[in-house]
Amino acid sequence: MATQTLFITGTDTDAGKSFVSVALLQGLALLGKEVLAFKPIAAGVDDSGLNSDALQLQAASYRQLPYSQVNPILFDEPCAPHLAGSIDLGQLQLWSEKLATLSSDLKLVEGAGGWLLPINNTQYLADWVVANGWPVVLVVGMKLGCLNHAMLTYRELERSGVKVVGWVANQLDATMLRFDDNLADLQQRLTTPFLGLLPYSPNGVSQNDAKALAAKLLDVLKLV
């Protein structure tokens, strides 16, 4: 059976795609799965000249790949990638062909920004995901405005024809008003499996939360 690849998208920049991806990597490792994660496009570098989100994915994967494999396209400026330098779908497709040769139980490909991230004047990162037929996990950054952002993103995912395997609620604001009501509202409106809640945790996800999230994902994917 071919290794399944999942694309991780979010309701916006800073919704917590990397936070959720790392939690999934940690939880899946606890469940004995060998998983690799990638961030093909990143904008913004740390003091090392590399992207901090991509470095987290590299470190949390079951084996360390060279950074250039984890994050092949990197821009120094933390801005929309197509403003920093145009990207062609063919360039991404060549990378995804190399991705297919790597062995693991599962592969996570983290997006940049939100679902409709422009990569040049006419194309979007979503076009590449659709072309590869990758199922998608939606990360909802739980904050004021998340209902609108979640529904706009989910409707566009549905319109594009990709399979949304589930969604994750990532609590960004420890003091968000009516948090439980917002979460319940989204569970009613989003007609795809709810994979779990990652509570506000600036020091990282607990092992129990990571393991529960990963177990739910595996159940949905029928890999257990």
Q: Check residue 1 and give its pLDDT.
A: 38
Q: Check residue 84 and give its pLDDT.
A: 87
CA distance 21 to 18: 5
Is 216 an active-site residue? no
Q: Which domains does the chain have, with CATH numbers?
A: 4-221 (3.40.50.300)
* DSSP SS3 for 176: coil
Query: pLDDT at residue 2 above 70?
Result: no
51-107 confidence digits (pLDDT tens): 999 999 999 999 999 999 999 999 999 998 889 888 999 999 999 999 999 999 999
- Which of 17, 33, 39, 211 does the annotation list as catalytic? 39
Both structure tokens of 146: 């998340």
Can you give the three-state secondary structure of the chain, one letter per residue? Answer: CCCEEEEEEECCCCCCHHHHHHHHHHHHHHCCCCEEEECCEEECCCCCCCCHHHHHHHHHCCCCCCHHHHCCEEECCCCCHHHHCCCCHHHHHHHHHHHCCCCCCEEEEECCCCCCCECCCCCEHHHHHHHHCCCEEEEEEECCCHHHHHHHHHHHHHHHCCCEEEEEEEECCCCCCCHHHHHHHHHHHCCCCEEEEECCCCCCCCHHHHHHHHHHHHHHHCCC
Q: How confident is the model at residue 115 (pLDDT cuts 50, 70, 90)?
A: very high
Query: pLDDT at residue 224 above 70?
Result: no
Name the phi and psi angles at 11, rounded to 5. -75, -15
| Per-residue DSSP letter, 195 | E
Q: Check residue 81 and give its pLDDT.
A: 85
| Per-residue DSSP letter, 202 | T
Name the phi and psi angles at 67, rounded to 5. -55, -40
| Per-residue DSSP letter, 161 | T
Across all residues in the chain, what is the average pLDDT?
A: 95
* Stretch 124-145: mean pLDDT: 97
Is 165:6 a contact under the CB 8 Å cutoff?
Answer: yes
Unique residue bearing structure tokens 């569970």: 187
Enter the pTM of the model. Answer: 0.96
Is 187:147 a contact under the CB 8 Å cutoff?
Answer: no
